[in-house]
Amino acid sequence: MHDAGVRASPTLERTKDPDATRARLLECAFQEIYEHGYGGSSVARILSKTGLTKGALYYHFDSKAALAHAVIAEVIRGWVVDGWLAPLDGSHDPVSTLIETYRAMMGSLSEEQLAYGCPLNNLTQELANEDEGFREPLLEVFDLWRRGIAAALERGQALGTVRADISPNATGTFIVATIEGLFGTAKSTRDRELVMAAAAVLLQFLETLKPTATNRASLNT
């Protein structure tokens, strides 16, 4: 895709706002990939939506793949960090924080999310077994998410706000896998009522992670 003949000169780019240009490209590229997948995404549509030239694109990203890698590393990773891990940072009651975060996310579930699902899961399903270059950064985001939840649960165990008998790593993996499964269900069914019913079950599970006598008894029945 790289076309040196249309690359904008560094001088020209610096006289504008290269940071804003790059941010516009990433925003539109994310939306394009979210709606059409990586394989179906179009650089021409991205440029049309941004009003930018190929030169502006290639000044910042030397290929479609490089642009997609930046979307994963900055936009999608940012969704995980800002949406899921930042609220847990320093939380003394990570289970309650997870419940609040998840309730807020499901309460604001948009029609777009219902139709397109989770961008991280979408790209993983599309590319993880096709391109090792994409598999590794996608796995890194999943691991960041899973490890972040696991670390918060382990901290909660030390503080006495999380059951001592659970495995933080296994539980963190289960939570992430269930959330992604719900997004996949949303995308395949577009049935809001079904998705919200399933989300309620995950909330019930999260409640059982609290160290109460009632929860311990319920797990043994």
Structural domains of the chain sorted by starting position, each given as residue range(s) with its CATH number in brackets? 1-62 (1.10.10.60), 69-219 (1.10.357.10)
Q: Which residue has the tokens 């394009």?
A: 32
What pLDDT score does 219 carry? 43
Residue 213 — pLDDT band, cuts 50, 70, 90?
A: low
CA dist., res. 91 & res. 152, Å (int): 7
CA dist., res. 113 & res. 187, Å (int): 8
CA dist., res. 84 & res. 102, Å (int): 9
Q: What is the mean pLDDT of residues 163-169?
A: 97
Q: Which residue has the tokens 């309620």?
A: 200
Q: What is the mean pLDDT of residues 37-55?
A: 94
Q: What is the mean pLDDT of residues 70-89?
A: 96
Average model confidence (pLDDT) across the chain = 89
3-class SS of residue 23 = helix
What pLDDT score does 186 carry? 93
CA dist., res. 144 & res. 156, Å (int): 18
Residue 217 — pLDDT band, cuts 50, 70, 90?
A: very low
CA dist., res. 200 & res. 206, Å (int): 10
3-class SS of residue 214 = helix
End-to-end CA distance of the chain: 60
Residue of higher predicted confidence among 217 and 154: 154
Q: What is the mean pLDDT of residues 2-13?
A: 35
pLDDT of 94 above 70:
yes
What pLDDT score does 30 carry? 97
pLDDT of 2 above 50:
no
Q: What is the mean pLDDT of residues 175-184?
A: 95
- Is residue 102 within 8 Å of residue 199, measured between CB atoms? yes
Q: What is the mean pLDDT of residues 86-103?
A: 96
What pLDDT score does 82 carry? 96
pLDDT of 160 above 70:
yes
Q: What is the mean pLDDT of residues 67-87?
A: 96
Percentage of the chain surpassing pLDDT 90?
81
DSSP 8-state secondary structure symbol assigned to residue 115 = H
- Is residue 163 within 8 Å of residue 212, measured between CB atoms? no
Chain Cα centroid distance, residue 184: 13
What pLDDT score does 196 carry? 95
- Is residue 43 within 8 Å of residue 57, measured between CB atoms? yes
- Is residue 32 within 8 Å of residue 57, measured between CB atoms? no
What pLDDT score does 131 carry? 82
